[in-house]
């Protein structure tokens, strides 16, 4: 199989722009870079994002983890990753004024389109955030490129900042990761609304009594004649949809009871289906 050509050319930049990359919002947004475009250990969510309703592209585990925190956060209404700093002439001019070499493709020598890892809409205001391991902030060249990025967003009057692993709430993130794919749960449609509501009531009663999550889920599977694991997936679905609430800042362990469990009263969310 032929290797994918990842080097940047003027023709490739023009093609990306014509494809609409870096344009749109919400479900219609297209990231400038995709996993196959860069020599990286690419990561992507196992399901679509809760906030945007589309599949997201991540180029590192750190980007993916930050995304989980954003996707769960109240007030976040859009998440755009791999956002291009266009037009290219703008970052080239900034680099020239700063006396910094603009990033180029090492093979072709073509100036590349710089990107910001995330542009976030939070409470109707845009924020730009770059995600990097803390140790990389000691690299002088990386800091030079960050300065170009900072100046770009400053000129657009957008709040820009750097996020490292030290800033992330990892207990919350791992909990969100555990429930994330069950936000869209096929069993909701397969079981039907009445069966789902019956399962919800039975499972909630057991969990509220202090029964361990896994034990309560297994009991409901057996009681309703469901395939093993169905109730546990639905538990994750109810929490993801915020029909139920648990303490997301303490590790959710199915072998234990649910910390801070309560019913939010948002039964109408079930109408969204899978």
10-residue averages of pLDDT along the chain (274 residues): 68 95 97 78 67 92 96 96 97 98 94 97 97 96 98 98 96 97 90 93 96 98 95 96 95 96 64 37
Among 168, 195, 227, which residue terminates a domain?
168
pLDDT reported for residue 47:
66
> CA 128, 105, 134: angle at the middle one, nearest 5?
45
pLDDT reported for residue 36:
73
Count the Cβ atoms, other than its own, within 10 Å of residue 9.
13
- Give me the CATH number covering residue 175: 1.10.10.10
Residues with Cβ < 8 Å from 237, sequence gap 6 or more?
179, 182, 183, 185, 187, 188
Give residue 131's domain range.
10-168
Among 168, 192, 211, which residue terminates a domain?
168
pLDDT reported for residue 39:
64
Q: Is 96 within a domain?
A: yes
Among 133, 149, 168, which residue terminates a domain?
168
Given a contact cutoff of 8 angstroms between Cβ atoms, the answer to whether 248 and 190 are in contact is no
Are both 42 and 149 inside the same structural domain?
yes
Are both 35 and 154 inside the same structural domain?
yes
Q: Give the separation between CA 142 and CA 66, rounded to whole angstroms.
A: 20
Radius of gyration of the chain from its Cα atoms, rounded to whole angstroms? 22
pLDDT reported for residue 99:
97
pLDDT reported for residue 264:
82
Are both 209 and 129 inside the same structural domain?
no
Task: Lay out the sheet containing 125-131: strands in order across.
Answer: 76-84, 115-122, 125-131, 159-163
pLDDT reported for residue 66:
97
Burial class (CB in 10 A: 0-12, 13-18, 19+), 212: middle
């Amino acid at each position: 199989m032929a290797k994918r050509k990842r080097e940047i050319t003027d023709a490739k930049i023009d093609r990306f722009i014509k494809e609409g990359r870096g344009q749109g919002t919400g479900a219609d947004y297209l990231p400038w870079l995709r996993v196959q475009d860069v020599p990286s250990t690419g990561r992507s969510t196992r399901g679509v994002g809760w906030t945007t309703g589309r599949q997201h592209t991540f180029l590192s585990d750190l980007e993916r983890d930050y995304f989980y925190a954003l996707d769960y956060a109240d007030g976040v209404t859009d998440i755009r990753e791999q956002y291009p700093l266009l037009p290219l002439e703008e970052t080239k001019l900034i680099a020239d004024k700063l006396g910094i070499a603009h990033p180029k493709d090492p093979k072709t020598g073509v100036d590349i389109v710089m990107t910001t890892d995330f542009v976030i809409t939070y409470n109707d205001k845009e924020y730009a955030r770059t995600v990097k391991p803390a140790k990389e902030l000691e690299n002088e060249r990386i800091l030079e490129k960050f300065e170009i990025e900072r100046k770009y967003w400053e000129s657009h009057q957008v709040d820009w900042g750097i996020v490292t692993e030290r800033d992330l709430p990892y207990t919350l993130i791992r909990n969100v990761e555990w429930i994330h794919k069950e936000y869209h749960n096929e069993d909701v449609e397969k079981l039907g609304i009445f069966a789902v509501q019956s399962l919800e009531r039975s499972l909630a009663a057991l969990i509220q009594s202090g029964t361990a999550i896994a034990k309560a889920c297994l009991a409901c599977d057996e009681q309703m004649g469901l395939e093993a694991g169905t109730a546990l997936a639905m538990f994750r679905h109810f929490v993801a949809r915020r029909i139920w609430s648990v303490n997301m800042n303490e590790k959710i362990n199915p072998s234990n009871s649910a910390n801070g469990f309560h019913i939010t009263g948002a039964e109408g969310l079930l109408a969204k289906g899978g």
